[in-house]
Amino acid sequence: MLRWTITFIIIAIIAGILGFGGIAGASAGIAKICFYIFIVLFILSLLKGIVKK
Protein backbone atom coordinates (compact mmCIF):
# COMPACT_ATOMS: atom_id res chain seq x y z
CA MET A 1 0.00 0.00 0.00
CA LEU A 2 2.92 2.32 0.69
CA ARG A 3 4.13 1.91 -2.90
CA TRP A 4 0.70 2.97 -4.26
CA THR A 5 0.54 5.91 -1.89
CA ILE A 6 3.96 7.17 -2.98
CA THR A 7 3.00 6.72 -6.64
CA PHE A 8 -0.22 8.69 -6.22
CA ILE A 9 1.43 11.46 -4.23
CA ILE A 10 4.00 11.91 -7.01
CA ILE A 11 1.17 12.11 -9.54
CA ALA A 12 -0.61 14.67 -7.35
CA ILE A 13 2.55 16.77 -7.05
CA ILE A 14 3.07 16.74 -10.83
CA ALA A 15 -0.58 17.64 -11.42
CA GLY A 16 -0.24 20.39 -8.84
CA ILE A 17 2.84 21.85 -10.49
CA LEU A 18 1.08 21.88 -13.85
CA GLY A 19 -2.11 23.29 -12.37
CA PHE A 20 -0.52 25.94 -10.19
CA GLY A 21 1.78 27.03 -13.01
CA GLY A 22 -1.14 28.03 -15.22
CA ILE A 23 -0.67 25.25 -17.79
CA ALA A 24 -3.88 23.53 -16.73
CA GLY A 25 -5.70 26.05 -14.55
CA ALA A 26 -8.88 24.00 -14.37
CA SER A 27 -7.07 21.08 -12.75
CA ALA A 28 -5.61 23.12 -9.88
CA GLY A 29 -8.55 22.47 -7.56
CA ILE A 30 -8.55 18.76 -8.31
CA ALA A 31 -4.79 18.61 -7.79
CA LYS A 32 -5.12 20.28 -4.39
CA ILE A 33 -7.77 17.79 -3.29
CA CYS A 34 -5.74 14.82 -4.57
CA PHE A 35 -2.59 16.13 -2.91
CA TYR A 36 -4.20 16.38 0.52
CA ILE A 37 -5.92 13.00 0.19
CA PHE A 38 -2.65 11.32 -0.74
CA ILE A 39 -0.76 13.07 2.05
CA VAL A 40 -3.28 11.62 4.52
CA LEU A 41 -2.98 8.16 2.92
CA PHE A 42 0.81 8.41 3.04
CA ILE A 43 0.80 9.29 6.74
CA LEU A 44 -1.67 6.48 7.49
CA SER A 45 0.53 4.02 5.59
CA LEU A 46 3.59 5.13 7.54
CA LEU A 47 1.77 4.78 10.84
CA LYS A 48 0.47 1.35 9.86
CA GLY A 49 4.00 0.27 8.98
CA ILE A 50 5.38 1.53 12.29
CA VAL A 51 2.64 -0.12 14.35
CA LYS A 52 2.99 -3.39 12.43
CA LYS A 53 6.65 -3.79 13.50
For the chain, the domain total comes to: 1
Give the per-residue pLDDT at 20: 62
Low-confidence ranges of the chain (pLDDT < 50): none
What is the domain range of residue 32?
2-52
- In this prediction the pTM is 0.50
pLDDT tens-digit map of 12-23: 778 777 666 565
What SS3 string covers 1-53? CHHHHHHHHHHHHHHHHHHHCCCCHHHHHHHHHHHHHHHHHHHHHHHHHHHHC
